[in-house]
Structure formats: structure tokens, C-alpha cells
A = this chain, B = another copy of it.
């Protein structure tokens, strides 16, 4: 009976989990944001090792009681953080929908993926891992689905190569980008452009299209 899911067992009367409910730039929102950023920073600095609710609250400058006023449990903090980060990525990714040329759209997608994973590399990696451990939260599902749909739409463009299994390809492309960037991040690489170029080679190879322009490797 450890990890509490997003929903709650006990009768906790008031609002709890929803960070964006009131139109006011309220103290509640401030606290929620402070907690999320504190959680992010702790994950980046100490990993799961130091990722405790007490540490998060202290770093956020709020009491532990306040943290539990806005989040039903530790996992809810993590889920909210995942949602926050994925929303940033999603906003970037969906821009591809308004790019006419297929190649330009693909380029944009790869850049978005690499940029996201490089922005806060350790955080992205750790959250990714937690996401696989946690029960699938609808709020997260919603965001990842939007990303996925943009990929599928891009694959269906005029000018796009034939792709046997688009669903599969969408997952694989994300996996390739994450794989290369995460591993590089762990080794301390920081040059996003180089990484982008390498991811592009792998992705274009995967899709069976020749690398555009490009130096001969």
C-alpha cells in the first residue's frame, strides 16, 4: 500500500491534485510551482537518492504539510513534474504540423526531441524512468498522445517515404533519439548540434531515406 495513485484512498475533501484550476495567480499556484521546481532540482543534483518529500518541501521553501495540501502523495509530485516537462516538448513538437515540407517537418521533430532531452538531461532521463514505473496517468497520456499523433501526421505527408508500420516507427524514432541523447548526456556531451546530426543519420537510415545534404559522414 505504498505509492498512492493520482486518485486518493482517504477522504481528502478539498481539491488536492489540480494545479491549474483557478484563474488567479494564487499562492496555491506559486507553491505548486515551487514544489515542482524543487523536485526537479533535487532529481538533477542527487537523483532518486535524495528525492524525498521532506527534501522537496524544504528546498521549495514550504512546509511538508503544505506539500501534502497540494499533492496527494509523493508520486503525484513526480507525475505533475513529468506532465510539466512533457507539455513543453509537446508544444515544440506540434509546431511541425504547420510546416509544409516533409523534410523540414522531420528536421523540426528531431530538433525538438534532441533539444528537449538536452535541456535538462539528467532530469529528462530520470523522469522517463519514473514514467515507466508509475501507473499511467491520464494527464500524461494525453500529452504523449498528442506528440504521437503529430509524428503520425508527419509520416502521412505528401512527399514522405512509404513506412510500413507508422505506429511502430513513431515509437522507434523517439526511442532512437532518447537512446542516443541520454547515453551522450551521461558521458557529459553537451553539443546539441552534433547530437542532432547523429540522431538524424540514424533516423533517416531507419526510415530508408538518404540523409539530406550532409557531409559524407
Contact = CB atoms under 8 A, between A and B. Distances in A.
Interface of A: 2-3, 47-49, 129, 132-133, 161-164, 168, 171-172, 174-180, 182-184, 186-187, 198, 201-208, 211, 216-217
A201 B209 CA distance: 10
Nearest to A171: B183
A132 B186 contact: yes
A13 B144 CA distance: 53
Contact of A205 (B161, B187, B201): B201
Number of copies: 2
Interface of chain A, main secondary structure = helix
A206 B202 CA distance: 4
A79 B76 CA distance: 31
A164 B217 contact: yes
Given A176-B180, A178-B179, A182-B175, A49 B2 contact: yes
Nearest 3 interchain pairs by C-beta: A205-B205, A179-B179, A208-B217
A163 B217 contact: yes
A23 to B, nearest CB: 38
A101 to B, nearest CB: 20
A19 to B, nearest CB: 26
Contacts of A182: 175, 179
